[in-house]
Amino acid sequence: MTSPTCDSPVVVALDFPSAAPAIELAQQLDPSQCRLKVGKELFTSVGPKVVESLQTLGFDIFLDLKFHDIPNTCAKAVGAAADLGVWMVNVHASGGLRMMTAARDELQKKSHQPLLIGVTVLTSMEQSDLADIGLDIEPLTQVERLARLTQTAGLDGVVCSAQEVGLIREACGADFLTVTPGIRPAGSEQGDQRRVLTPQQAQQQGVSYMVIGRPITQAKNPAAACAEIVQSLSAR
């Protein structure tokens, strides 16, 4: 259930309230140029059927539901994601070692095993947000700690900001995947994101995959915005 032909790092976040605009945009995109992410808004609105529709169009799907629960519940949810044939699924690394290990173990029982990724510190958070929840440390320090824990649990990589990728590669090695939202092309609106880099800067940092939502989906011509980003990366 993976598309061996996609060598682009771009993952387009289809954050839409219904299936129609998500599918309409997907039909304008090329599965050899990008993958697609289905997140909480779209999945909660329309359910797993949209995943199947997008797969039928030839796309690899990152199911971004950021599971965070007791080990048994999280593991079964990750297993259900595997049964949907998705390419990648994620959990919150702050759910801890036992939760992540249970999820990994559950996937090992499955015939189709998606990449399993741990979310470190949300890219919308900065130091003051961490202080609010009792973490008096810099985001970078917490990201490194959670990346090491995620690797210990046997997951494939982490979600982090592109700003932290160099540090994670040093700590966890070059094979450990880095999936980076908080991508903002020069001149685009930052919105609620805080730890951001441009697509080109993210590529220079060596990210494995970059997740891009509103700079593409809210553009006047989303397909052209996506193509422009992909071309700017492959031109390097």
Ligand X SMILES: O=C(O)c1cc(=O)[nH]c(=O)n1[C@@H]1O[C@H](COP(=O)(O)O)[C@@H](O)[C@H]1O
Cα torsion angle, 182, 186, 192, 196, sign = positive
- Residue 45, φ and ψ in degrees, nearest 5: -75, -45
Residue ranges in 84-161 assigned as alpha helix (H): 97-108, 127-132, 139-152
Tell whether 123 is in a known binding site.
yes
Catalytic residue among 49, 60, 64, 156: 64
Tokens of 90: 């994620």
CA dist., res. 35 & res. 12, Å (int): 6
The least CB distance from residue 122 to ligand X, in Å, is 4
Which of these is catalytic: 30, 69, 105, 129? 69
**For helices 19-28 and 222-234, what crossing angle results, to 10°?**
50
Q: Is 9 in the site for ligand X (CB under 6 A)?
A: no
- Cα separations in angstroms, 39 against 48, 123, 163: 11, 15, 23
User: Closest by alpha carbon to 157, among 120, 183, 118?
Assistant: 118
Q: Is 60 a residue that touches ligand X (CB under 6 A)?
A: no
What's the DSSP call for residue 85? T
Interface characters, 153-192, with ligand X (x: CB under 6 A)? ------x---------------------xx--------x-
Q: Is 175 exposed, middle or buried (0-12, 13-18, 19+ CB in 10 A)?
A: exposed
Residue numbers 139-158 binding ligand X by CB under 6 A: none
The binder of ligand X chosen from 8, 150, 193, 205 (CB under 6 A): 193
> Closer CB to ligand X, residue 13 or residue 103?
13
Q: Where are the beta strands (DSSP E) in 68-183?
A: 88-92, 115-119, 157-159, 177-180
Is 66 labeled as catalytic in the residue annotation?
yes
Instruction: Specify whether 156 is catalytic.
Output: no
On whether 145 is known to bind a ligand per the annotation, the reply is no
Residue 107 marked ligand-binding: no
Distance CA 131, CA 134 (A): 5
Mark the segment that binds ligand X (CB under 6 A) among 49-57, 70-78, 206-214, 226-234.
206-214
Q: Which of residues 86-145 bind ligand X (CB under 6 A)?
A: 90, 119, 122-123
Catalytic residue among 30, 40, 49, 66: 66
Q: Which is nearer to ligand X, 109 or 167 (CB)?
A: 167
Segment (H or E) for 209:
strand 209-212
Give the one residue of 89, 93, 211, 226 binding ligand X; rule: CB under 6 A: 211
Annotated binding site: 15, 37, 64-73, 123, 184, 193, 213-214
Residues making contact with ligand X (CB under 6 A): 13, 15, 39, 64, 66, 90, 119, 122-123, 159, 181-182, 191, 193, 211-215
**Annotated binding residues for substrate:** 15, 37, 64-73, 123, 184, 193, 213-214
